[in-house]
Amino acid sequence: MALHIIRSTDPLPMTTLVVTIYGQPGIGKTSLAFTAERPLMLDFDHGAHRSAFRKDSVRVDSWVDVANLTPEDLAGYKTIVLDTAGRALDAITAHIGRTQPKLTSSSGNLTLQGYGELKAVFLAWLKRVRQLGMDVVILAHDTEDKSGDDLIVRPDIQGGSKSELYKASDAIGYMYRPQRGQTLLDFNPSDRWIGKNCADLDPVPVPDFRQSPTFFADVIQSMKDRVNQLTDEQRAAVEAIEAAREIYGAMTTAEDINTAVTSLSADVSNPILPQLKKLLAHRATELGLEWDKENRQYRRVAS
Amino acid sequence: MTTRLKISVTDLDQLLWYDRIEDMSLEQLVDRFKPTAEPSPAMALGTSFHAALEEAAARPQAVDHITAPDGTTFDLSQVDGDIPWVQVPEFFLLRFMTLPDGTPVRIGGKVDGATGLELVDHKLTGKWSGPETYFDSYQWRLYLWLTGFRSFRYNVFVKSKKPGKDGAVQVTAVHPIQCYRYPGIEADCLTGLSRFAAFATAHLPWRFFDDSKTSPRAL
């Protein structure tokens, strides 16, 4: 094994998303998930029947029921809904206990290696489902963590698995009622709850699903559109910096460098700017130049 | 004389952790902001790690050992993970502004690098306690709000307490954590900055400097 440094300048368009939604029981997470595009719910929580907007669901009693989903199993579906993440991880834990008893302690809990296996099984499953072209919506109940004097709402998921879920999710949204009669889906992090907002979305009011039966499908599509737009912008930024690096590399005099410095805009909100300044400073050092603070330009170091 | 408050992007997190660590006294918190001549061993090791990683992360490759200019070697052969390359390594960001309460501030920080519209920060820790600490942090919020970068990636490296047979520092895992700019980021940053300004006014007088000769722009 080793640390792999990878070049990610040519990211592929995002075709599938993993979205985690958490909130209080009864807030409407299951109904929300049924408004995703062609959903199939894996009902670990045995609560799909409570949703008035129920579509196809599979009552899952054991991890082996869903461990090896095939393209045929998923034909006609676009979104897999895991309801809930906590129960799904419990099912994997039970599966590990049955198939690899050495990874559990005498009290039935997973050992450290067992938790590693739990993580590996869950992530491998997630990866396989995505490779089959499915969006994944993961539902979780909420729980309050006490942090000093603060209470912070987080997904109710066991131990280290929560970390993996945070990392694997492209977006994490908290569903809550700020006031009577209004429900919000908020992907923004705050000092009161955790969130992950890959698409820069404002908090989204959750509508009556009878009037908006494709609500979550539309939210996911808008996320993909925004992420793909940002991916294009990221690619353009990387290319612009590489082009500048090449131009700077061909410069040979203090005058060349100073002309380039002068041409850079003073727009501090432009994230490319400090990178170009750094590249120019690096090239200036290579050429034996130093920064003259008083005159605000590079000059050759006096020998 | 115009006085301006000097703020580092990591200052706000010190207050955040103070809120959450029940046995930390106010005196201990204030001590953390005092300029110290010597970095702690952990900080010095972190500096060595950053120096060693800077060159390695600049191009795609598989890395199992890296060595810092001070000779410290880090064994990465147990790490099973990947991180994106860093296109432009280490640079400073500095911003001048006035907070809503009228306090002039200078906010600065040194980033480990950037690739396109993403900032990168490497962390070396002896204990991995999950990504929540990083998600909750003000550091990435301030950077993204102040600079126009789109996302911020923490590469959290976990080291073993035991050195390797060859004396190398054993690095056992890497946890990439990606944070994104979001619509409410400005309000959150201003809340944190205003709180820090009030704290500094009460407890950190050395953080205010004569600004009459400084022009209000990024240097």
Check: CB of residue A171 under 8 Å from CB of residue A199: yes
Contact flag A7-B78 (C-beta cutoff 8 Å)? no
Query: Does residue A283 carry a pLDDT above 60?
Result: yes
Q: Which H or E run contains A240?
A: helix A215-249
**Can you give the C-alpha Rg of chain B in angstroms?**
18
Please give the structure tokens belonging to residue A237.
Answer: 């930024």
pLDDT tens for each residue of B65-109: 999 999 999 999 999 888 888 999 999 988 999 999 999 999 999
Chain A residue numbers touching B63 (CB-CB < 8 A): 2-5
Between CA B86 and CA B154 the distance in angstroms is: 12
Chain B residue numbers touching A150 (CB-CB < 8 A): 19-20
The ipTM assigned to this model is 0.87
Contact flag A167-B64 (C-beta cutoff 8 Å)? no
Burial of residue A121, with CB atoms counted within 10 A of its CB: 0-12 exposed, 13-18 middle, 19 or more buried: middle
Tell me which amino acid residue A281 is.
Answer: A
Closest CA to A159 of A64, A104, A93, A94: A93
Which 3 state secondary structure label does DSSP give A107? coil
Please give the interface size between A and B, counted as residue pairs whose CB atoms are below 8 Å apart: 159
Closest CA to B148 of A235, A273, A224, A225: A273
Check: CB of residue B106 under 8 Å from CB of residue B93: no
Mean pLDDT of all residues belonging to chain B: 89
Nearest CA in chain B to A170: B178
pLDDT of residue A169: 93
Query: Does residue A9 carry a pLDDT above 60?
Result: no
pLDDT tens for each residue of B16-62: 888 877 788 999 999 989 887 678 888 899 999 999 998 888 888 89
Residues counted in chain B? 219
Closest CA to A278 of A269, A291, A292: A291
pLDDT tens for each residue of B105-146: 999 999 999 999 999 999 999 988 888 889 999 999 999 999
Check: CB of residue B92 under 8 Å from CB of residue A32: no
Check: CB of residue B116 under 8 Å from CB of residue A238: yes
Please give the structure tokens belonging to residue A201.
Answer: 């979305």
pLDDT of residue A116: 85
Which 3 state secondary structure label does DSSP give A181? coil
Closest CA to B53 of B63, B44, B43: B63
Cα-Cα-Cα-Cα dihedral sign, residues B202, B145, B51, B89: negative
Place of tokens 């709180």: B195
Of the listed ranges A6-15, A116-125, B4-13, the least confidently predicted one is A6-15
Pairing, β B118-125 against β B104-115: antiparallel
Query: Does residue A10 carry a pLDDT above 70?
Result: no
pLDDT tens for each residue of A76-127: 999 999 999 989 998 999 999 999 999 988 887 888 888 889 988 998 999 9
3-class secondary structure for chain B? CCEEEEEECCHHHHHHHHHHCCCCCHHHHHHHCCCCCCCCHHHHHHHHHHHHHHHHCCCCEEECEEECCCCCEEECCCCEEEEECCCEEEEEEEEEEECCCCCEEEEEEEEEEEECCEEEEEEEECCCCCCHHHHHCCHHHHHHHHHCCCEEEEEEEEECCCCCCCCCEEEEEEEEEEEECCCCHHHHHHHHHHHHHHHHHHHCHHHEEECCCCCCCCC
Nearest CA in chain A to B110: A274
A264 touches chain B (CB under 8 A): no
pLDDT tens for each residue of A112-165: 888 889 988 998 999 999 999 999 999 999 998 876 667 889 999 876 678 888
- What is the mean pLDDT of the segment spanning A273-288? 94
pLDDT of residue B216: 46
Strand-pairing partners, residue B218, are none
Chain A residue numbers touching B115 (CB-CB < 8 A): 8-9, 238
Give residue A198's pLDDT band: very low, low, confident or very high (50, 70, 90): very high
Query: Does residue A182 carry a pLDDT above 90?
Result: yes
pLDDT of residue B219: 35
Contact flag B117-A234 (C-beta cutoff 8 Å)? yes
Between CA A187 and CA A205 the distance in angstroms is: 12
C-alpha distances in Å from residue A165, one per residue of A118, A157, A175, A225, B121: 12, 9, 17, 23, 21
pLDDT of residue B38: 77
Query: Does residue B191 carry a pLDDT above 90?
Result: yes
A3, A200, A270 member nearest B181 (Cβ): A200
C-alpha distances in Å from residue A99, one per residue of A7, A63, A115, A117: 39, 11, 14, 11
Residues counted in chain A? 303
Query: Does residue A205 carry a pLDDT above 60?
Result: yes
Q: Which H or E run contains A41?
A: strand A39-43
pLDDT of residue B170: 95
pLDDT of residue B85: 87
pLDDT more than 90, % of chain B: 64
Contact flag B114-A195 (C-beta cutoff 8 Å)? no
Which pTM does this prediction carry? Answer: 0.89
Pairing, β B3-8 against β A289-292: unpaired
pLDDT of residue A303: 65
Check: CB of residue B8 under 8 Å from CB of residue B211: no
pLDDT of residue A51: 77
Mean pLDDT of all residues belonging to chain A: 90
B80, B92, B180 member nearest A1 (Cβ): B80
Between CA B88 and CA B59 the distance in angstroms is: 11
